[in-house]
Chains A and B, each alone.
Chain A
Amino acid sequence: MLLLVQYTLIFASVLLLVALGGCFSEHSGVINLGLEGIMVIGALGGALMMRYLPAGTSGFMIVILTLLAAIVFGVAYSALLAVASINFKADQTIVGTALNMLGTAGATVLVKAINTAANPDDVSSTIQYIEPKKAFIVNIGSFEFNWFMVVAVIMLIFAYVVLYKTKFGLRLMACGEHPQAADSVGIDVHKMRWAGVLISGMLGGLGGICYILAGVSEWKFENGVAGFGFLALAVMIFGQWKPTRIALAALLFGFFRALSNVYFGFDWLVSLNIPGSVYNMMPYIISLIVLALTSQHSRAPKAEGIPYDKGMR
Chain B
Amino acid sequence: MNPQVVIDGLIAGSMIGLGAIGLTLVYSILRFPNFAHGEMIAWGAYFAMSLSALIGAVIGGAGAPIAPFSFGWGLVLATIIAMGLTALLALAVDAVLFRIFRKRQSVMIIIVMASFGASMALRSLLEFIYTSRPGYFTRELQIAMPLGGGMRATPDQLFALGLTALLVVFVHLLLTRTPTGRAMRAVSENPSLSGLFGVDVDKVIRTVWILGAALACAAGVMSGLLVQIRPYMGFDLLLPLFAAAILGGIGSVPGAIVGGLIVGLGEALAVQFVGAQWRAGVAFAILVAILLVRPTGLFGRQA
Do A and B originate from a single complex? no
Q: What residues of chain B have their CB less than 8 Å away from a CB belonging to chain A? A: none
Q: Which residues of A contact B (CB under 8 A)?
A: none
